[in-house]
Amino acid sequence: MTIQEIRFILGWCSVINIGILSVWFLLFVFGHDWIYGLHSKWFNISVEKYDSINYTLMGFFKLSTILFNAVPYLAFVLLI
């Protein structure tokens, strides 16, 4: 696998992961009550705890995307 292929794959992984995060955020903002109602049927959880879990996981996903996809992509772009 060449460096150009790795750079191409990391670029598309970054785009896809940012798209997933954007959809997650939009669903959380505009469908909060519906999604909370769905999850509260399965789990006994308060709204505050549900929001806290979602924000924590969104932050972890964003940092993981930056750390494992965007930074290596930028390193390949800037160094080569």
Q: List the end-to-end C-alpha distance of the chain, in Å, as a whole number.
A: 15
The answer to whether residues 7 and 76 touch, using CB atoms and an 8 Å cutoff, is yes
As a whole number of angstroms, the distance between CA 34 and CA 6 comes to 40
pLDDT of residue 65: 97
Domain of 46 in residue numbering reads as: 3-79
pLDDT for the residue numbered 36: 96
> Could you give the CA distance from residue 56 to residue 26 in angstroms, rounded to a whole number?
16
Tens-level pLDDT at each residue, the chain (80 residues): 899 999 999 999 999 999 999 999 999 999 999 999 999 999 999 999 999 999 999 999 999 999 999 999 999 999 87
Determine the pLDDT at residue 79: 84
> If you search the block for the tokens 């932050």, which residue do you land on?
59
Contact 8, 73 (CB under 8 A): no
The number of folded domains in the chain is 1
| pLDDT score recorded for residue 59 | 97
